[in-house]
Amino acid sequence: MIVYFCHCLLLAEAQAAAAAPGPAPPAADANAPLRLLGWLAITAILFYFIMLRPQKQKEQALRSKVSSLKENDRVVTIGGIYGVVTNVQRDAERVTIRVDESTGTKLRVSMSAVARVLTGEDEDGATPGTKS
C-alpha cells in the first residue's frame, strides 16, 4: 500500500513538472571534459617547472659537490656542525671532519650527512640571504 502511494506521488510530480512551462535546461558543453583535462595538464607542467625541477637541480649540485670533497674543505652537516674535512673514504662513503682546532676533535660522518660545502663567501661569516 505504501509503495503504491509513493508511486502515485512520484507520477503526479513528474506530470506536473512536464506540464509546467519554464525555461529549457542549458545544453551541456561537449568540450567541458577536454578543457578540464587541458587545465590539469597546464597545472601539472607549471608545478614541475616551479617546484620539482629547481629542487632536483639543487640536490644534484649538492651531490656533485659532496662527491668531489677533498681534504681541507669546510662543510656543514645536517645537524649544523661546522668542520674541516680531514679524510675522505669514498668506498665506504664516509668523511672524517675536524670540529675543534684546539683539541683536534674529529667526527666520522656519512657523506649523505653533509648538508653544505662552504665556499669562500660562505666562510666569511655571511649567511646566504643576509647582507653584511
pLDDT value of residue 120: 74
Tell which phi-psi region holds residue 113, choosing left (phi > 0), alpha (psi between -120 and 50) or beta.
alpha
Divide the 132 residues of the chain into consecutive groups of 10 and give the mean pLDDT of each group. Answer: 56 61 66 90 95 93 90 93 93 92 92 89 54 41
pLDDT value of residue 132: 38
C-alpha cell at 118: 662552504
pTM of the entire predicted model: 0.57
pLDDT value of residue 14: 63
Q: Are strands 94-98 and 82-89 parallel, antiparallel or unpaired?
A: antiparallel
Any idea where the domains of the chain sit in the sequence? 74-123
